Amino acid sequence: MLMKKKIFCALFFLLILACSVYALMPRLRLEKANNNVSILADYREVLALAKNSGINIDEALKILIDNGVTGLMASELTGDNIDHGAGQAELKTVRDAERGTEGTVISILPDSPYKNLLNKWLRMRFAISDDNTGPVMLSMPYNMLKNSGVIPDIDSLEAAKRHGLKIFYRPAPSPGHLSERASIMLEEVNKFYDISVFTPSGEYVSGYPDVSRLAKTAHKLKIPVAVVEFSRQVGEPQLNALASPLLMPLHSVTNEEMTARKISRFALRDRLIRAAVERSVRLLLLRTAPPNTSNFLFKDFTNEVKLLAEGLKSHGFNLAWPEPVFASENPGKNIFAAFALSAVFVFALMKYLVRMGINADKKIFIFSVIFVFILAFAVFKINSAARIVGDFTAPLIAVEASLMAMDENKNKKIIPAFIFIIVSGLALASFFSVTAYMLRLNTFSGVKLTLVIPPVLVLLHDLKKRIHPESLIEFLSRPPLWGEIALVGVLLAGIGLIIFRSGNVAFIPGFEAKIRVALEKLLIARPRTREVFIGYPS
């Protein structure tokens, strides 16, 4: 009887493995083809570094291209940018003392070689219909224009065009009554300069809460939207959802974040490489050091570009412009993956209930089989059901694998536990290898439940089976032992470290940085330090 049970379990998990691998094939095919990575640089930052180092901007860009840069970030200039000397325009505030009003005069610099085009764009940006070529008088005060888009940065666009660099364009926010102007200007700029990817700048997406205009323009022009990882921009999730699947993940670290979190340049490079290796991010925007870092020179930035490029090549990436992965092929839910996920969920749940004392007779077995097929149909058809089942499958997998590994016959159970967690993990991954999750439009929330539910369920199991000789009430009613106090102290220190180190890159000691590099060379994707050395052993 025991042998039949083992054979049935083996065949059952072979079926789950076959369904999972089959459902994962579209994702594996896409991932294998998605091998190009682009290093981007910010034109304005490069310009400032080049000037400080006494280098011509064209010479600087040639050096960066030779070392691995393939794209250039060109932004729409705001009133604040122009006020600080960027671009080929100038602003002047005018006041009407009698009416108590304030306005702004915007004019293109008289010696600009692109004066006619910029005057046309300026009038188009603010919906002014006259054909004049002189200054534009706006009834808006400077404060309304400070963070609003005024005119495209034609210097950066021209530089990218001269050097054959791909353009990463950033439309700026618009004043409320001109919200549609951002999408109009995006289309207009694209007529003269071939934009390869764009994403809005500023605290909010222009036109929010109605961001559909930019999304429609993206589809019309077939320009992908860059999905900036960990961005808190208001309206970005809505824009990404409407622009899907015309999306390209991008990773960047702002100067403010680098300063506030004391991110070293080594940690920055490590973070960019991990984004490409672990999360399939294919656009990497490498920023220069914050402006207050006086000893950071152009040669330092060039060396960082070179090291980043070498690091990417060592992982098998090509330094070339990527394409939107899911624009041509859009994998959806797979019924085989739904079956694999449901089978793992029911198996792990029933195993735990049996461990807790429920009698697994023939009726329970038949009910479980029927329930697998019903649940598979539900998760395949109903999104909410899929999310709930997926969220609770992950912690149940962790619970069953832990209890299997901690069985009395440890030498015999550790290998089955390892096989179980690998096969179950593939089932979980196969179901969520769909466009919405791969592009992070939806997020898998089972990770947080996996940190909470397994310790609770394992504790309940131990109390039920009296693994610990005392019950919970007996344990709490007696004085604690010194060893138990020390153990609690170690656990509290571990919890504190997990909370303190929740930011990925902050406060990394040198020895840990070396361990990370070694793990990345040894493994395809480095496991998280606090999970491997604290979470899983605990």
Summarize pLDDT for 362-421 with one digit per residue, the tens.
788 888 889 999 999 999 998 888 888 988 999 999 899 888 888 765 556 778 888 898
pTM over 0.85: no
- Whole-number average pLDDT of the chain: 85
Average pLDDT over residues 410-435: 84
CA-based nearest residue to 17, from 432, 427, 433, 344: 427
Looking at residue 151, its pLDDT comes to: 93
Question: Is pLDDT of 2 > 80?
Answer: no
Contact 164, 62 (CB under 8 A): no
CA distances from 395 to 305, 356, 502 (A): 41, 17, 20
Higher pLDDT, 426 or 413: 426
pLDDT at 510: 64
**Measured between alpha carbons, how far is 425 from 535 in angstroms, rounded to an integer?**
18
Query: Which pairs count as long-range contacts for 486-495, CB under 8 Å and 24+ apart, including other chains?
Result: 491/538, 494/534, 494/538
Percent of the chain clearing pLDDT 90 (strictly above)? 42
For residue 153, pLDDT over 90 is answered with: yes
Q: Confidence class of residue 230 from pLDDT cuts 50, 70 and 90?
A: confident
248 and 324 in contact (C-beta within 8 Å)? Answer: yes
How many angstroms separate the Cα of 68 from the Cα of each of 155, 168, 201? 21, 16, 25
| CA–CA–CA angle 253, 254, 256 (5° rounding) | 130
In this predicted structure, the answer to whether residue 496 has a pLDDT above a threshold of 60 is: yes
**356 pLDDT exceeds 70?**
yes
Judged against a pLDDT cut of 60, whether residue 506 lies above it is answered with: no
pLDDT band at 505 (very low <50, low <70, confident <90, very high): very low
Query: For the chain, how many residues are written?
Result: 538
Report the DSSP beta bridge partners of residue 90: 107
Cβ neighbours of residue 153 closer than 8 Å, sequence gap 6 or more: 43, 44, 74, 75, 76, 77, 81, 86, 87
Cα–Cα distance, 160 to 26 (Å, whole number): 35
Domains of the chain: 2-30+330-470 (no CATH), 35-319 (3.20.20), 479-538 (no CATH)
* Cα Dmax for the chain: 99
